[in-house]
Amino acid sequence: MNPLKLRKYRPFTGITLPDRKWPNQTLTHAPMWCSVCLRDGNQALPTPMNIAQKLELFQTLVRCGFKEIEVGFPSASNTEFKFNRLLIEKGYIPNDVTVQVLVQAREELIERTVDSLVGAKRAIIHLYNSTSPAQRRVVFERSKSEVKLIAVQGARWIQERLSRLEGTTMTLQYSPESFSATEVEFAKEISEAVMDVWKPTPTRKMILNLPCTVEVATPNVYADQIEWMCRNIRNRDSLIISLHTHNDRNTGTAATELGLLAGADRVEGTLFGNGERTGNVDLVTIALNLHMAGIDSGLDFSDLNAVRTVYERCTGMLVPPRHPYAGELVFTAFSGSHQDAIKKGLAEWERGNRTVWDVPYLPIDPGDIGREYREVIRVNSQSGKGGVAYLLESQYGINMPKEMQREFGPVVNDWVDGLGREVSAIELKDKFEKEYTLRDCPFALQKLTTVDEDGIHRCWATLLVGGKERTITGEGNGTIAAFVHALIREQLVEPFEVLDYQEHAVDAGEDASAIAYVWIRTNDGGQFWGAGVDTDIKRGPILAVLSALNRACSHLRQG
């Protein structure tokens, strides 16, 4: 960038905290959660949600286990006010859920806000005003003392009206908005001035929300600010310290997690990070990060796809394919080496060899959030044999031998590279069948009869060879050996060797099919796999031999 353009920027000056404790802390338990999807998230939508959409999302948040939900800004519009009244009057709020409402420090707005809460069982009134130097200078054109007076007066107006909410278990919350860009000494001063009005106690705490309204520095700076406030604020035991981080520098998650290490008790955020500009912190990510560490978040995302569907329908926003945990592609591997590692790790886990999840490239078990293993591996031109094998096995029960995987993997890669796109599992199965089980030229099996007399196997087979019927007979120490003997004795093929033979069931029940795999080496040293599927366990291996021979003949013709 042009150096002249950079001159207008300055790094944010952090605070001096040489004995900071947060770097040595470890997260051991979940914070209190508050979803602001219906307020902070809603105000950031090009088309705000209507009442029906807000209600559906509210009920989804309840099912996810949120006990505090900021339901709106009731003084901002009739829709917001009516939604509050609907929740309260129609009994949509469970007894253990607290609704939170936001309001600026203006008397007429506070009046309307209190009216919206009459009859609620549990509620939080969230008062805020901006405190940063830029806000004081540009927006309010007020001094520190004058901005502090705004907060104090707002707190008094709320305190004076609490008698109208008799019967409601009330909690009061204050936010020095733009805290992250505010001098910590002033943030402490203005917060304590509000505390002087509300007089919180250890048994009747107030929430002090310290938002990273706009990210202005690295997450460690925010953690220092939080720890400084937790250490220096008066009557810390009477406060619930809350975090509310945005994502301007794409570090909202880190800022929140470090803020919790620094002593915070509570987190506000949204599902999938919806919010102004680059969004709020994503509560799904924070909660599942805890899950990954074996910590119960208290939130239920066991059917994350369903939560995502409701979110997208109600907000009109889309969860990006690479969004942590929820994105379509986050449990997907295209790289061949990744696919192979995932396949082997899942196999180890499913055998019960481990009690602690440690599958390469999968930080959590997709099944924990309602995803399926078939979503994990997908195939494009970057994929290898492991991913191809995994999809065929997991979707269709085709468990190719490892040497066969090495043969089929490059076939698929060349094919997909020519297509220039990802292929589906069904397309992959079709390719497998065309390459192996549907090969019928130049040899196609018409009839097969086998007998076993005193360990000697004999076979009689009718083949179509280049469109003409040929009947052949042979004997050997097994069905395959007898058939190979017949082919060579009748001089239909040059002598060849069977290197490997495997077989397994692909269906269950009376009509179960089996798939056989045969690996041959021709007299010129070429090696080819074949596969055959049939309900007759003797016919399947013969089909596999013919498949391998047909592929060998095709290779010779192409050569």
Q: 283 and 185, same structural domain?
A: yes
Give the pLDDT score at 374. 59
Name which of 110-124, 230-244, 347-361 the model is least confident about: 347-361
Query: Is pLDDT of 435 > 90?
Result: yes
List the single range of 93-102, 150-159, 300-309, 460-469 with lowest mean pLDDT. 460-469
The domain in which residue 453 lies consists of 443-558
420, 437, 454 - which closes a domain: 437
pLDDT number for residue 383: 66
Same-domain pairing of 190 and 51: yes
Indicate whether 328 belongs to any domain.
no
Same domain, 415 and 454: no
Band (pLDDT 50/70/90 cuts) for residue 138 is very high
- 2 part of a folded domain: no
More confident residue, 461 or 424: 461
Q: Is 468 exposed, middle or buried (0-12, 13-18, 19+ CB in 10 A)?
A: exposed
On whether both 342 and 308 belong to a single domain, the answer is no
415-430 pLDDT, tens per residue? Answer: 988 888 888 889 999 9
What would the pLDDT profile of 14-50 be if each residue is shown by its tens digit? 899 999 999 999 999 999 999 999 999 999 999 999 9
399 and 543 fall within a common domain? no
- pLDDT value for 460: 95
Write down the pLDDT at residue 193: 98
Contact 526, 555 (CB under 8 A): yes
Are 288 and 397 members of one domain?
Answer: no
- What angle do the packed helices 304-315 and 51-64 form, to 10 degrees? 160
Task: Please check whether residues 73 and 198 belong to one and the same domain.
Answer: yes
Q: Is residue 18 part of a domain?
A: no
pLDDT at position 386 over 80: no
Do 311 and 209 fall within a single domain? yes
pLDDT of residue 380: 67
Q: What is the pLDDT of residue 334?
A: 75
Q: Residue 389: which residues within 8 A CB-CB, separation 6 or more?
A: 343, 399, 400, 405, 408, 409
CATH number at residue 56: 3.20.20.70
Residue 222 in this model has a pLDDT that exceeds 90: yes
Q: What is the pLDDT of residue 448?
A: 94
From 437, 454, 474, give the residue that closes a domain.
Answer: 437
The answer to whether residues 425 and 454 belong to one domain is: no
- Is residue 527 within 8 Å of residue 518, measured between CB atoms? no
Answer whether residue 530 is part of any domain: yes
Mean pLDDT of 457-476: 93
AA identity, residue 200: P
For β-strands 266-269 and 32-35, DSSP reports them as: parallel
> Region 240-257: what's the mean pLDDT?
97
Mean pLDDT of the 354-367 span: 93
Task: Decide which of 281, 315, 349 is a domain's last residue.
Answer: 315
Q: Please indicate, yes or no, if residue 191 is contained in any of the structural domains.
A: yes
State the pLDDT confidence band at 343, using cuts at 50, 70 and 90.
Answer: confident
Q: Is 88 found in the same domain as 65? A: yes
Q: Both 307 and 371 in a single domain?
A: no
pLDDT-derived band at 7 (thresholds 50, 70, 90) equals confident
Write down the mean pLDDT value for the chain.
93
Residue 376: what pLDDT?
63
Burial of 9 per CB tally in 10 Å (0-12, 13-18, 19+): exposed
For residues 211 and 227, give the distance between their C-alpha atoms in angstroms, rounded to a whole number: 14
Residue 378 is predicted with a pLDDT of: 65
**Shared domain check, 368 and 470:** no
Q: Does 507 reside within a domain?
A: yes
Strand order in the sheet with 514-522: 496-505, 514-522, 527-534
- Which pLDDT value is given to residue 377? 61
| CATH code for the domain of 553 | 3.30.160.270
Q: Which residues on neighbouring strands pair with residue 475, listed in sequence order?
A: 458
Q: How many domains does the structure of the chain reveal?
A: 3
pLDDT number for residue 511 = 65
Q: Which two tokens stand for residue 162?
A: 């609490």
The mean-pLDDT minimum among 34-38, 199-203, 340-344 falls in 340-344
* Range of weakest confidence among 239-248, 377-386, 433-442: 377-386
Res. 509 pLDDT band, cuts 50 70 90: low
Q: With respect to residue 543, please indicate whether it lies within any of the assigned structural domains.
A: yes
Q: Which of the four pLDDT bands, split at 50, 70 and 90, describes residue 2?
A: confident
Evaluate whether residue 13 is within a structural domain. no
Does the global pTM surpass 0.85?
A: no
